[in-house]
Chains A and B, each alone.
Chain A
Amino acid sequence: MTPGISHMDGEAGSSPPAVPLPDLVRVLQQLFLSRALTRAVPEHGLRAWPVPRSSAVPLAEGILDAAAVCAATMMRAPSREHGGGSSEFLATSPHLPGGALARGVTAQRWLAGAVGPPVPGSDPAPPWGPIPSLGLPGPFPFPGIAVQVLAGMTLPQQDPDGSPGTLHWPAVGVVVAHRSALTSGAVHEGFNLAAVRRSALVLVLGSTEDGPPGEGSPPRPELDDVAEAYGVRAVRASALDIPILLGELGRGLASVRRGEGPLLMEVDARPGEDGIRDPLTVLRDRVIRAREADAATVAELEEDARLELDEAIRRISNPTSGYIGGTGPASPPPEGASP
């Protein structure tokens, strides 16, 4: 069994089918930018959505971002604009930078959405505007509705070339949410229906706290229980090993496309030997070690992300951009503070 992956219904000792992996450098690029965005809002004092930089669970954004970026990477044609006719749908919270980037949202646009609506009467020229849930009829601030709606979007349909009763799965969907989504009855209703109707849906749940130690551990018992209750498969992939995560997502997407029913996927970080628990750092080291890019190129990618972010911040700071707040303190300075 591939290290870091456990298949609930897999055969012991068997290797999962190979999935062609995409360009890891491109994934790294996306992760650099999503990390920069995650940090930008609190660091620049933007009035924004509550991006939980100082969460008690430090891997929160890193894991969910990695899951979203990897899911979009492994989809056949992740949508770049709504209405583009894609039949592959990715749902994440609009607040998740990695999810937005994965759906094709630019850094500037994400920040514009984070900062708020334009001042009335100003000229909100593109690319400013609300964050679209690209490829999706979103946004999906609530995972329950995302699961329900995507379960409906990925229903099997009569194969137009087949005999009556021959089904095919013209659309697939991935919902990326925090594992706490399982506390929502709406998520269960949607996932149960997906299971009953055999929708082509992958529900990726990021666990942001440490899991039980040891690579290759199965999904947490509570996720296994949920999967068993709905008669679906559950797999677990480490967020710390991006190639493995990509491979598991690729296999999951292939299985739901074949009509094998929805898949529950846990993505988390578990204590490893090197003690590094950040998907981005692990991937950066790996890319360099494997000579997929040299250290200078990787540093350049990171710098590019920073420059793109700086440009986005600069445009938001420009009063003519018409956005309320711009940069500055999120709340008025205390009385008596020097200007």
Chain B
Amino acid sequence: MTEDAATPPTPEHASRTSRGEPSTFLEAIAEALFEEMIRDEAVLLLGEDIGEYGGAFKVTRGFLDRFGPDRVVDTPIAEAGFTGLAAGAAHVGLRPVVEMQFMDFISPAYDVITNYIATSRYRGAGAQPLVIRGPVGGGGRAGPFHSQNVEMAFFHTPGLNIVYPSTARDAKGLLKAAIRSDEPVIFEEHKGLYRAPFLREVLPVDDLVIPLGKARTAREGEDVTVVTYGMMVHRCLAAARSLEEEGVSVEVVDLRTLLPLDDDHIMESVRKTGRLLIVHEDTRTGGIAGEIAIRVNEQAFEWLDAPIARVTAPDAPVPYAPDLEDAFLPDEAEIARAVRYLAKY
């Protein structure tokens, strides 16, 4: 992209790819937002402290200088209000991207998201091209108000898409696709991945758009399929590497998009291995594992050689205490134990 002398500079963290440098997960998100705002003037950002302060995690640092206060909108602490405002903006041709400072705070906006935004097209009221994005997940010693995963609060609401990437590449490509989608998208970003050094990668210079609704195989294997997403992809990959030394070949499927689920990809892997473990950081009851298990039961039961198993967080709020939080979150050892059980079944 070209910049004249009067144009405020492109934020350094949102332009690593153009310099051939590797990007973190967070920088990939910043790049996606920045590039989409350059590409389409209808894209605007709304959220608490995203302008002057650059966002709680500094995703939008420097965006206000570049795009001005009408496209980088600092909002009051009023999640319902600014999500509703975004819905209105989406109706008149804009493409709002709402940042929840922490996704835990999305609950005040549940009404407008589920009753209004999600139902809009079904009511004949037209598309709602908007994205609601923000940090999720535990491990940061942030307790129950800043560590939740919110996907299942919205999973059963027709009309929504839910995306939960696990790599910098996917974060950028999926976010760009979400912004270009005519459907409302809830985009979850695990804060533990934001600056994870192992996720730094050089991203393609070309316009990187990854279609929504498509899972990917993060690791190929023959004995057991592990279906997962987000931070747990990396725990499962670590478990798979250690199990390989024991002679167990694990296939890891990264869902990337939770709603709609990529049934075809899941079934293909299950039919290959005959064994399925589902892993999620979200709590157990009403977790996505239940939905995936019943779909496999419906579509691939004859291929199963073992019961479907799951590793999840327990049914409890995310604890403050470090020891308790460590025990709360699924870890590599738990995953490996479950895979061994299935492999030997």
Contacts and interface: CB of A to CB of B under 8 A. Distances in A.
Interface of A: 82-83, 87, 132-133, 136-139, 142, 144-145, 147-158, 164-165, 167, 170-171, 185-186, 189-190, 192-193, 196-197
B112 A137 contact: no
Given A148-B87, A149-B84, A157 B111 contact: no
Interface in B37-73: 41, 68, 70, 73
Interface residues of B, number: 31
A190 B285 CA distance: 35
A189 B81 contact: yes
Contacts of B78: 189, 192-193
A154 B70 contact: no
B341 to A, nearest CB: 48
B124 A132 contact: yes
A158 B111 CA distance: 30
A139 B122 CA distance: 12
B111 A152 contact: no
B75 interface: yes
Interface of B: 41, 68, 70, 73, 75-76, 78, 80-92, 94, 96, 111-112, 115-116, 120, 123-126
Contact of B89 (A145, A147, A153): A153
Contacts of A186: 80-81, 84, 111-112
Contact of B81 (A148, A154, A158, A167): A148
Contacts of A157: 70, 94
A148 B70 CA distance: 17
Nearest to A173: B88
B81 A149 contact: no
A148 B109 CA distance: 11
B68 A155 contact: no
Contacts, number: 105
Given A149-B116, A153-B89, A193-B82, 5 more contacts: A137-B125, A148-B87, A150-B88, A155-B88, A189-B82
B68 A149 contact: no
Contact of B88 (A82, A144, A152, A185): A152
Nearest to B42: A157
A151 B88 contact: yes
B70 A82 contact: no
A149 B87 contact: yes
Contacts of B88: 148-155
B90 A167 contact: no
A137 B84 contact: no
A105 to B, nearest CB: 14
B92 to A, nearest CB: 5
Nearest to B81: A189
A231 B124 CA distance: 36
Given A82-B125, A145-B112, A189 B89 contact: no
